[in-house]
Structure 1
Amino acid sequence: MSRPSETVPEHVEIAVVGGGPVGALTALRLARAGRRVALIEARDPEAKLTDARAIALSWASLVAFADAGVQIPYAALTAIDTVHVSQQGSWGRTVLSRDDLDLPQLGAVVDYPALAEACQAALAAAGVAVLWRTRVTRVATLAAFARLTLSRDGAATPLTCRLAVLADGGELAEQLPGVTRRVHDYHQSALLAELRTERPHGGVAYERFSARGPLALLPHGEAFKLVWTRSPTEAEALRDEPSEQLIEQLDEALAGRFGKVLAVSGRAVFPLTLKQVNRTVSGRVALIGNAAQTMHPVAAQGLNLGVRDALGLVEAVAASADPGEAGVLRRYAGLRRLDSQAVVGFTHGLVSLFDGNGALMSLLRGAGMNLLDLLPPARRRFAGHLVFGVGTAR
């Protein structure tokens, strides 16, 4: 059974702040490695999750969750066998397949609430101590301990630990010595919706660089989940206006690839901002997941990068007598530096590359996509980076 302690302890070996999928995975893997860990999460475990996002998990991320005991219901998963990248009104395309990497699938799409509920069940089954309905308001690092200030029901309580892991709460990171956060506002929003089309998706995820902005179509049950990057004004208008107007724009952007769009439902809008810290370690505090970086969804890499952060941290601290020792955390930072910088840079570059619609820019994009498609070794390497990360062991 879970141990949702109503009593806040004075000290734990490792405290993980943020009970989303990345924080939960970290706590589960640390507990399995024999570490004494407590997970701190602000939400009520009985509260119904209503997050509208659908998450594209890579094959490597699916394996990581399964190995930690997270049993995502099969019915909640929609396999991604192929990724098709193209641009509207011009030549050029790249197709990535599970066969490129000899995998059963490249990944799968799951609704965020289904993933979070599976993580919560795994925490309970593993007996991981979870401090629900508890917020962290302050974080400080000392020579031998990190110190957190917890808030629950209006009462402030101190907690010390050998290592504090921030999996969420970028604002907390700014309290740490030497840590600053780069914030880049894209002045864009993501329009989310579910689409029903005349033709089935066939396990194919589409990245389509349309004249109105990049859009992703993720296979989701018998339908698609749409993530369309638009200006904030356009996204809000399409969320609120009659669905016929959105369908008209989608039919134009998709050019009949799936026949006509039959219906649109579940529309929501999220602002898009890049946030990245200059360092992932400060004293006895390590940053992972959204506390380390929050990215544009154009390449669907955000949560997958956070999963690799979690695995890298566990690898670095699992066998150490002192999980917060400086050398241990330097190893974590070194393990994650290349992958994090490469993926954040690649994602940010994609936004800039596909934001222009001039003839020359379109020609260059098309040539790049076709070249990648025609060179199997390069295509396999690129697919491997998306599924397993950059510079990480497969």
Structure 2
Amino acid sequence: MPDTTQQVLIIGAGPAGLSMACALADAGIASTVLEASPEAELAEPREDGREIALTHRGTAILQDLQAWQDLPPEAISPLRQARVFNGTAPQCLHFDSGQAERLGSLVPNHWLRRIAWLGAERRPLVQVRTQAKVTALELSAASARLTLEGGEQLQAPLVIAADSRFSATRRLAGIGAEMRDFGRSVILCRIEHEKPHEDQALECFHHGHTMAWLPLGGYSAQLSSLVLTLPTDLAQAQLAWSEEQWLAWVQQHSQGRLGRLKLAGSRHHYPLVATYAHRFAAPRFALVGDAAVGMHPVTAHGYNFGLYGVQCLASLLAGAPDPGDAALLTHYAAEHRRTTWPIYQGTNAVVRLFTDERPPARLLRQGVLAVADRLPPLKALITRQLTGQGRIGFSAR
């Protein structure tokens, strides 16, 4: 079949892929987004239990894309404080927003998917093709060519993959990825509680599991999202429990920090696997979103990294006569690695330390929390990284 030439082809119509298309459109670059799912799943995404923490920089990018204003006010929950606990010890590591209004904001994942779709819909330079599955990819110095299920071929100067941390397109491009399977899963559920959360997140590293309570102040001062991290076998066993049995277990292990608890939604389950692509670019090819970096959620950087990559790549391609220019893609890959690699490694180190149940590790993490809480410069550095204020700009040329 004959080739159909496009300006840029983007694979994956999740928030990262659609945001990439919108950012390119704002830079005057047309794109076609290819998505295997049907249109109805993109236009009206279902609630999936995930609440996404957005840094200041992540929020600013969504504002620049004119997507932030599409969120209803109740979908934006301020995060003003965070406390980190180790086991049953009363001491904690406390973070506050300092001079800023908030540490960040929490937004339901299905709303981020929705506003990304709305942004793509209103940009004439963005075309979205649903139920379009990519089966082959050919890259050369001159162009990139995709083959769709059914045999249709598309050609473009640049292909961008944004098709999840288990990206099939990344594999077709011959790019491997570091994968860390933590052997753990998360159970997510919204829970009403007796005590107000005061826009404060709680990260509780208990022995054998972790409880993170994310305040949903946009909806209620007494509603939080519980992110319960467990060994996968225990998570599977708990999913078979009745809601009453599961809530009683959660109540017991919450240590009364939020008072009496009541389920406010269904439970959702996700395995925990972190990924980091060996390369972020190849000839006429780039990775963004989770296809580039898939984070463990403990430091809440995954979606923000996707937005950072979108901003970086779109800024580099703006005004370029050839969007697939090798030098530009090399610059993007190097910049995105500098932004993400230290936090990716640091996050994995935190997870290793705080999920190690051996007695020396328990003592070490209690010492780490105590020392960090008594060193204001260290706390300030961690806060800047958590909020995305540590390194805002980059050189586009």
Task: Using structure 2 for the length normalisation, give the TM-score.
Answer: 0.90
Task: Flag the 1:92–1:161 CA change in 2: closer, same or farther, 3 A.
Answer: farther
| Aligned equivalent of 2:75 | 76
| Aligned equivalent of 2:363 | 363
Task: Note the C-alpha offset of 1:264.
Answer: 5.5
Matched, 1:217 2:213: yes
Q: Counterparts of 2:265 and 2:24 in 1: how far apart (Å)?
A: 40
1:90-129 to 2 correspondences below 5 Å: 90=89, 92-99=91-98, 102-127=99-124, 128-129=126-127
| Aligned equivalent of 1:304 | 304
1:194-273 to 2 correspondences below 5 Å: 194-220=190-216, 221-222=219-220, 223-263=223-263, 265-273=265-273
Q: Which residue identity lines up with residue 121 of structure 2 in the other structure?
A: A
- Contact kept in structure 2, 1:91 and 1:366, CA below 8 Å: no
- Contact kept in structure 2, 1:57 and 1:107, CA below 8 Å: yes
| Aligned equivalent of 1:4 | none
Task: Note the C-alpha offset of 1:92.
Answer: 4.0
- Contact kept in structure 2, 1:305 and 1:389, CA below 8 Å: no
Higher mean displacement: 131-140 or 267-276:
131-140
Task: Note the C-alpha offset of 1:68.
Answer: 0.2
Cα distance per residue 1:217-261 (max 9 Å; x no partner): 111222111111112221122223123332333233321111122
Task: Note the C-alpha offset of 1:28.
Answer: 0.8
| Aligned equivalent of 1:159 | 154
Q: Which residue identity lines up with residue 326 of structure 2 in the other structure?
A: A
| Gaps in structure 1 of 5+ consecutive residues | 1-7
| Aligned equivalent of 2:22 | 28
- Contact kept in structure 2, 1:339 and 1:392, CA below 8 Å: no
Task: Flag the 1:104–1:133 CA change in 2: closer, same or farther, 3 A.
Answer: farther
Q: CA RMSD in A?
A: 2.0
Q: Counterparts of 2:181 and 2:389 in 1: how far apart (Å)?
A: 25
| Aligned equivalent of 2:59 | 62
- Contact kept in structure 1, 2:381 and 2:390, CA below 8 Å: no
Q: Secondary structure at the match of 1:306?
A: helix
Task: Note the C-alpha offset of 1:20.
Answer: 1.0
Q: Counterparts of 2:136 and 2:392 in 1: how far apart (Å)?
A: 33
- Contact kept in structure 1, 2:208 and 2:355, CA below 8 Å: no
| Gaps in structure 2 of 5+ consecutive residues | none
- Contact kept in structure 1, 2:146 and 2:153, CA below 8 Å: yes
Q: Counterparts of 1:263 and 1:39 in 2: how far apart (Å)?
A: 38
Q: Secondary structure at the match of 2:334?
A: helix
Higher mean displacement: 263-272 or 8-17:
8-17
- Contact kept in structure 2, 1:92 and 1:367, CA below 8 Å: no
| Aligned equivalent of 1:143 | 141
Q: Counterparts of 2:3 and 2:224 in 1: how far apart (Å)?
A: 45
Higher mean displacement: 277-286 or 363-372:
363-372
Q: Secondary structure at the match of 1:35?
A: coil
- Contact kept in structure 2, 1:339 and 1:389, CA below 8 Å: no
Q: Counterparts of 1:213 and 1:249 in 2: how far apart (Å)?
A: 12
Task: Flag the 1:69–1:264 CA change in 2: closer, same or farther, 3 A.
Answer: closer
| Aligned equivalent of 1:5 | none
Q: Counterparts of 1:97 and 1:313 in 2: how far apart (Å)?
A: 32
| Aligned equivalent of 1:190 | 186
Matched, 1:49 2:45: yes
- Contact kept in structure 2, 1:90 and 1:362, CA below 8 Å: no
1:1-20 to 2 correspondences below 5 Å: 10-20=4-14
Task: Note the C-alpha offset of 1:336.
Answer: 0.9
Q: Secondary structure at the match of 2:362?
A: helix
Task: Using structure 1 for the length normalisation, give the TM-score.
Answer: 0.91
Q: Counterparts of 1:320 and 1:386 in 2: how far apart (Å)?
A: 33
- Contact kept in structure 2, 1:190 and 1:271, CA below 8 Å: yes
